[in-house]
Amino acid sequence: MTTTHAKKKRTIFFSATALLLAAGVAFALQLNAAAEGGNASQPVAVTSEPSSKTPAEPGGTPSDSPAEPPQPAAPASGTTAPEGTLSGMSAEALAEIEQPVSGAVALDERVAIGSKVEAHLGQLEAVDGEAAGVGEVSGPAIRFTVTIANRSGQDLPTNNTVVTANAGPEETPALQLSGPGATSLPATIAAGQEASASYVFLIPPELRNQIRIFVNYEASSPIAAFAGTAPGVKSP
């Protein structure tokens, strides 16, 4: 081997070694940079999706700030009665109104139950009560009529009229029945006229020596009270 050929081989060897060293240094630098990058905080990605919140007007508050409490809704039309009247009130509201009860009169007397309005009973009789409505029970009963006279100069509504009864020394409430022969008052009574309706109440014969019948014409008028002995009474 000549000297010139040996020098070329050493030069190639040294060049290859230098390239390998340079590649190794570069790889090491990349690893170091990757390691340092892993420890650094990652940047937060910003999306371009549109926000559902409405931007605030200048000087205003953002739309995601606490909303003002809702205002109470206005009452529905027709749900309240005009001031100073009882028309349109619910049965529950009418029941809360305290009413005086007139002193009890005999079963055949007349009672004033309002300005130019009178009430009286008639045709009390013993019947066999018929159950037709929910909660009713058939049995010995009494039937009577209630007549309301309109002495005023205008039509008289009767939609709030309620008739009840009790009996005996304990004033036991009597159950109202659908028959026989029970009727209702007309919706209105014409000026100067009167109208009647028949009512049936379950009252055992042994309690008929003390019965009380109440006619509640309207919440703003006193309740008429009638007391006495009903037909078909039997000693207990």
What pLDDT, on a 0 to 100 scale, did the predictor assign at position 219? 82
| pLDDT, tens only, 17-55 | 445 445 554 544 454 444 444 444 443 333 334 444 444
What's residue 105's pLDDT?
96
Q: What is the pLDDT of residue 100?
A: 85
pLDDT band, very low/low/confident/very high, at 99 (cuts 50, 70, 90): confident
When comparing pLDDT for 73 and 40, which is higher?
40
In a 10 Å sphere around its CB, with 0-12 CB exposed, 13-18 middle and 19+ buried, how is residue 153 labelled?
exposed
pLDDT surpasses 90 at 181: yes
Q: Which of 54-68, 98-112, 211-225 has the lowest mean pLDDT?
A: 54-68
What pLDDT sits at residue 97?
63
Q: Grade residue 16 by pLDDT with cuts at 50, 70 and 90.
A: very low
Domain locations in the chain? 99-228
pLDDT band for position 114 (cuts 50, 70, 90): confident
Kindly state the helix (H) or strand (E) to which residue 20 belongs, with its residue range. helix 3-39
- Specify the DSSP class assigned to residue 130: B
CB atoms near residue 82 (< 10 Å): 8
pTM: 0.60
**Could you read off the pLDDT of 133-173 as tens digits, one per residue?**
899 999 999 999 999 999 999 999 999 899 999 999 999 99
Q: Which of 169, 161, 147 is nearest to 223 (CA)?
A: 161
By C-alpha distance, which of 226, 181, 224 is closest to 199?
A: 181
Return the CATH architecture of domain 99-228: Sandwich (2.60)
Look up residue 89 and give its two tokens.
């009130």
Q: What is the pLDDT of residue 90?
A: 61
Q: What sign results for the dihedral spanned by CA atoms 22, 28, 34, 37?
A: negative
Torsion sign across C-alpha atoms 84, 88, 91, 92: negative
Q: Mean of the per-residue pLDDT values for the chain? A: 74
